[in-house]
Structure 1
Amino acid sequence: MPSAEETTEASGGTTRRADRSGPPPLSLGEGRTPLVPLTDTVSAKLDFLMPTLSFKDRGAVMLAELARRLGPRTVIADSSGNAGTAVAAYCARAGLDCSVYVPEGTSPKKLEQIRAHGARTVLVPGDREATARAARAAADEPGVFYASHVYNPHFLHGTKTYAYELWEELGGRLPDTLVLPVGNGTLLLGVALAVEELYGHGLVDRRPVLVAVQAEAVAPLAAAFHAGAEELPGPAEVRHTLAEGIAIPAPPRAAQILHAVRASGGTFRTVTEDQIRAAQLDLARRGLYVEPTGVACWAAVRAAPERPGTTVVPLCGAGAKTGLATESGEG
């Protein structure tokens, strides 16, 4: 039986194979999601087909790999559901102890998924901001790694793979317009980072327009953008929305998000609850069952005049995580 460091003869010399006795790679096969047409000019990237059924796997694998190398006593994350699920899954893969702080109103299906991966769930009374505050307080304890998809830049270096994959899938170019959901803005900021890298290396000759989408019920960034502000004047009023994953009243990276959209020549759009419901049903009847947050971009595209050139929207989370949106809330 060959040893971990196996020696072979090649062309009269000795070749040593790499030591493969270490821990397995953390990857669960995230990325390389399909790009499918919705209209003649609009395509959807099916990120709800990730291992934990949301785009958050792109960044979570980076956080878990960093945590594994640092060797903390425990990992803490805060989330409205999808990021926490992704961190829980990749911590399980890495053999790391994990706790996920979530708002008390989080979808039961998302809580079930987090717990199935072996993570503890800590239900926090109040909104998403209260959850983040509780997690940050717990993360101050010794031996804790705070796997924050909002504050840790490693997460953005994971989400930027969304744009790199589009560049590969489209034969070395990017679409004219990228429509992206924005709560904390981790996908948009990762995409903006990738666009600058591709442009800076001369791999694309133009930058796509970034169109950011928020739910009308909680849209602090859209309001600031259209008011010409460079940052938020304060947190937005928290109202119920089916798009729970982007219902962030005071995103910490607000100034970066606003700058990235403006620099691209883009804009912000908001979508109503009725538009979200209609978009979810429309996609389902096309064979794509996506959670309400994940359909926000398609809702925005359907409601607005068609943009020139090609457009790509992400379908970010699977409908199995929440069920079908109904008149009274989520199914």
Structure 2
Amino acid sequence: MTPLPDCFCPADGTRVASGSLAWCCPVCRGPLDLDFAPTPAPLKSLAGRVNSLWRYAETLPLATPAVSLGEGRTPLVELTNGVLAKLDFLMPTLSFKDRGAVVLAELARRLDARRVLADSSGNAGTAIAAYCARASLPCTVYVPERTSPKKLEQMTAHGARVRTVEGDREAAARAACEAASGDPGAFYASHVFNPYFLHGTKTYVHELWEDLGGRLPDVLVVPVGNGTLLLGAALAVAELYTAGLIDRRPALYAVQTAAVAPLAHAWEEGADDLVGVTPAAPTAAEGIAVPRPARARQILRAVRDSGGTFLTVTEDQIRQAQLDLASRGLFVETTGVTCWAALREVAPGALPHFRTRSGGGTPTAVVPLCGAGLKSGLA
């Protein structure tokens, strides 16, 4: 079995050995990155491989998983001229979080963890619960008190112990961190702090590149709370560009809800980190209601380096976008419609990088539809 790469702290350079159950920097308690720079396989070599995200084995920090449920390889459909949607709600647990959860569960299994702990506003918890069930690992998920009942039902159905925490998303994260710190045999499957999760979510872009014939769209529009999909996308773009498999990098457009937009606010201020963060207001987009994302500096830098920008959407725009997608045959949860909500409200000519596609060329933008509508119902 190929040795696992070490982790390191991007803030102070502290290294963490590959066999450790540590989930954060032991010095600054910040999130970790992976000392891993893979080279993707050429397009023609992918033919005939397993029809899941594990077909991109060269780009993943671990391979030959025992816990796979066939995740990945979700379809693309056109929403309007030049804008495609990737249907990541067609995953085993009905959300894109399966991409990172399967990698974390496989890692926990290989590290012989005694049990797995996680925190979530819903989708990450259901994904971790499912893949822990697949790996026969005991799992406890800490959730905020307003978590969707359907998501709680899904977690418990997979056998996870659910601990409801009074307060918001951050309160649930603190509770999980405290539990992990007090149990040296536990694996904290943090989709925020553990870099393996990002190397799972990056397969979203590797699939786009393959399905578009070795190209990427002009713009990748991504919902951002903790930024796990956006940072994974940035990883994949860098890998493909460095390998010479794409000749340009797409712009990253990050979407937040107006009710909880700490990153968009920092962007407007031209800051490199969060500025004057205020408590989160209620929002239907619970999956991105994160007032203090731990990887804020990395997210802002990734968007800036790509030449992208931030967009925000209101609660009414979310509701209208959800109904619009449903009228097109796509029932998507409230968080998962935010990117489409953003594009519906802006004339293409008003945004940089946007153009009308003609003659079947490269699409202008791709939006992810991240979770199934059955998870949250209508806004």
TM-score, structure 2 as length reference: 0.79
Contact 1:75–1:145 under 8 Å retained in 2? yes
Q: Which amino acid aligns with 1:317?
A: G
Matched, 1:290 2:337: no
Cα distance in 2 for residues equivalent to 1:312 and 1:180: 9
Matched, 1:98 2:152: no
Cα distance in 2 for residues equivalent to 1:236 and 1:62: 33
C-alpha spacing 1:224/1:194, structure 2 compared with 1 (3 Å): same
Matched, 1:317 2:371: yes
1:210 maps to 252
1:116 maps to 157
1:268 maps to 310
Matched, 1:160 2:202: yes
Cα distance in 1 for residues equivalent to 2:229 and 2:289: 15
Q: Deviations over 1:93-126 (max 9, x none)?
A: 0000000000011000000000000000000000
Matched, 1:40 2:40: no
Cα distance in 1 for residues equivalent to 2:110 and 2:83: 41
Query: CA shift at 1:237, angstroms?
Result: 2.1
Q: Deviations over 1:135-194 (max 9, x none)?
A: 000001121100000000000000000000000000000000000000000000000000
Query: CA shift at 1:233, angstroms?
Result: 2.6
> What residue ranges of structure 1 are gaps of 5+ in the alignment?
1-22, 326-331
1:66-105 equivalent positions in 2, closer than 5 A? 66-105=107-146
> What residue ranges of structure 2 are gaps of 5+ in the alignment?
1-63, 349-353, 358-363
Matched, 1:139 2:184: no
Query: CA shift at 1:238, angstroms?
Result: 1.2
Matched, 1:175 2:201: no
Bigger radius of gyration among the two? 1
Query: CA shift at 1:127, angstroms?
Result: 0.5
* RMSD of aligned alpha carbons: 1.0
Contact 1:294–1:315 under 8 Å retained in 2? yes
% identical equivalent positions: 73
Query: CA shift at 1:234, angstroms?
Result: 4.5
Contact 1:234–1:250 under 8 Å retained in 2? no
Counterpart of 1:29 (choices 45, 63, 70) is 70
Runs of at least 4 residues off by over 4 Å: none
In the alignment of these two chains, the number of paired residues is 303
2:54 maps to none
Query: CA shift at 1:24, angstroms?
Result: 7.5
2:36 maps to none
Query: CA shift at 1:25, angstroms?
Result: 2.3
In structure 1, the residue corresponding to 2:163 is in which secondary structure? strand
In structure 2, the residue corresponding to 1:77 is in which secondary structure? strand
Contact 2:65–2:106 under 8 Å retained in 1? no
1:186 maps to 228
2:95 maps to 54
In structure 1, the residue corresponding to 2:80 is in which secondary structure? coil
Cα distance in 2 for residues equivalent to 1:305 and 1:311: 13
